[in-house]
Structure 1
């Protein structure tokens, strides 16, 4: 069984992606997928999944700082549901609060304003989401 996990930083126009390994708990950015109203090119996404063969997918769940839902939250839930239908893989939602803020800060530190391209921010946010998810204790196996 593969220990590979792919995470998504959902957005209406761009969806950042990252890949990581359960064994190491480390993640790295992959590529940004263009989206139209939150709908990615499913063929491009299928190619990504075929290439990396993940065991689990993680979708960042955008929440307000107080934990309440925001308008984008339901769209992210719908993306996760459709992703599970398309891919027949387990899809986990994970709190993504402050991931974009942290991504922007890391990129700015590395290269100033020029490093803040939308795709780099989205992909690094997906990486931060995945690192946070990988740091959680594993869920018990279903009985």
Structure 2
């Protein structure tokens, strides 16, 4: 069963998909979104769901370090609720505290340039969110 992981930001959504056995996460792409114009990339997410035959979606839930939920957490929850409504698939919120920072650290250690980091950081964060979920299930 394939599972999709999403790192929802204010300008982009990082996308990762598991292998068929649900063991490993691979970053797929970064979808540009525009909250002000109400363009959230739901159509592209639906295309990827169909292409990879995804059966479950994991959405990163950015909680504050004191476990409270701020504006980004509320936005991610609303995004997840809309996906559930549109696609009819199970959508699980997954604590993603520090996933983007961890992805940034990995890319810095690999000496990836700032320009290239910007292009891959969101899908890498989505991979880390999804891999965390997959590891908890196995």
TM-score by length of 1: 0.87
Partner in structure 1 of residue 56 of structure 2: 56
Number of residue pairs aligned between Structure 1 and Structure 2? 135
In the alignment, does 2:47 pair up with 1:47? yes
Partner in structure 2 of residue 5 of structure 1: 3
Partner in structure 1 of residue 15 of structure 2: 17
Partner in structure 2 of residue 98 of structure 1: 98
- RMSD, matched Cα: 1.7
Alpha-carbon distance in 2 for matches of 1:72, 1:44? 21
Would the aligned equivalents of 1:22 and 1:134 in 2 still touch at CA under 8 Å? Answer: no
Extract unaligned runs of 5+ from structure 1. Answer: 139-143
Q: How far did 1:21 drift?
A: 3.4
* Partner deviation per Cα, 1:76-98 (whole Å, 9 max, x = no partner): 00000000111111000000001
Q: In terms of mean alpha carbon deviation, does 19-28 or 8-17 score higher?
A: 19-28
Partner in structure 2 of residue 116 of structure 1: 117
Extract unaligned runs of 5+ from structure 2. Answer: none
Partner in structure 2 of residue 85 of structure 1: 85
* Partner deviation per Cα, 1:31-79 (whole Å, 9 max, x = no partner): 0111111742332222111111111000000111121111111110000
In the alignment, does 2:26 pair up with 1:28? yes
